[in-house]
A and B are shown apart, each in its own frame.
Chain A
Amino acid sequence: TVGAVACDAGGRVAAATSTGGVTGKRWGRIGDSPVIGAGTWADDVCAVSCTGSGEFFLRVGVGHAIAARVRLLGEDVATAAGVVMGEVTALGGTGGVIVAGADGEAAWHFTTPGMNRGRADSSGTRAVAVFGDE
């Protein structure tokens, strides 16, 4: 699974996710990536793209849940991502999220040993990483 979230100069956010699913999937199994509100979500406060054991991200409604915490509780994107990923973990799921806030904040959070990830912004910050300790 791959994904991107962004906040543009106008403070608008967007999210996109794309996946091949899981090896050996059968019976028309579909995970969270194409389900709006689960693996992919964007509204006026933040954008979310997810990767991991899709069934758990569907059950938690991860994308919408993170945005709701930002909107209703005023949490920052990193805090909201951590709390909602805690719900995924509690159900037995693993994976990661990337989140871009309309306030220009951005965060990633993952519960697996590693995640292919990258970030860049207009201040010149730029990083890519794979292993958890990179």
Chain B
Amino acid sequence: MSWTLMIHGGAGRLTAETLTPAQHEGARAGLDRALDAGSAVLAAGGAAVDAVEAAVKVLEDDPHFNSGRGAVFTHEGTIELDAAIMDGATRKAGAVAQVSATRNPVALARAVMEDGRHVLLAGAGADSFSREQGVEQADLSWFATDERRRQFAELQASGDTFDVDMKYG
């Protein structure tokens, strides 16, 4: 009964120079919690698709990562979230883009996948599908963090120069 789990919380200019010790330790602790959540599903004989949803939900709730709580701001100062999930055993897939009020976008992508009529929903339509499906909602105050506000202000002050590596995301 062997299983494997891999997770990521974003790639970029992550070095001892760009991260404070607190950010570094906080990210490691969040990764540990996500491994716990996904491993618990797999060790109990659960399905890979349930394990990846469980692990990603933990990371979405952790402000150290750019998704869900802790997501970056758009040019207009809003938050637009994207997510996807895919089950290799069935090729079923669900994805959402530009959603703004679902606490865990991966749970909404899962709802799209389980509903089965579509694969990708976007924008206000995806938000209303989320409400219709009873997926947990959240408002901007849940998603927005001071660190992201600081990064957004920094980017605005720099005149919107876009650094594909740094990209804060």
Q: Say whether A and B bind each other.
A: yes
Given the contacts A18-B105, A35-B95, A128-B35, A24 and B119 also touching, CB distance less than 8 Å: no
Task: Tell me the bound Cα distance from A41 to B86 in angstroms.
Answer: 6
Residues of chain B lying within 8 A (CB to CB) of residue A18: 56, 59-60, 67-68, 81-84, 104-106, 109
Residues of chain A lying within 8 A (CB to CB) of residue B75: 24-26
B34 and A30 form a contact (CB under 8 A): no
B106 and A34 form a contact (CB under 8 A): no
Query: Separation in Å of the B117 CB from the closest CB of chain A?
Result: 15
Partner of B97, one of A1, A2, A30: A30
Task: Tell me the bound Cα distance from A30 to B97 in angstroms.
Answer: 7
B83 and A4 form a contact (CB under 8 A): no
Q: Which of B7, B68, B109, B152 has the most CB of A within 10 A?
A: B7
Task: Tell me the bound Cα distance from A5 to B85 in angstroms.
Answer: 10
B6 and A23 form a contact (CB under 8 A): no
Query: Separation in Å of the B8 CB from the closest CB of chain A?
Result: 5
Chain A contact residues, majority secondary structure: strand
| Residue ID in chain B nearest A33 by CB atoms | B82
A120 and B35 form a contact (CB under 8 A): yes
Query: Separation in Å of the B56 CB from the closest CB of chain A?
Result: 5
Interface residues of A (CB under 8 A from B): 1-10, 12-26, 28, 30-31, 33-36, 39-47, 49, 51-53, 92-96, 98-100, 102, 104-108, 110-123, 126, 128-132
Contacts beyond the supplied A17-B83, A20-B72, A116-B27: 9 A-B pairs with Cβ under 8 Å: A12-B47, A14-B89, A18-B82, A21-B169, A24-B155, A36-B119, A100-B5, A116-B11, A130-B28
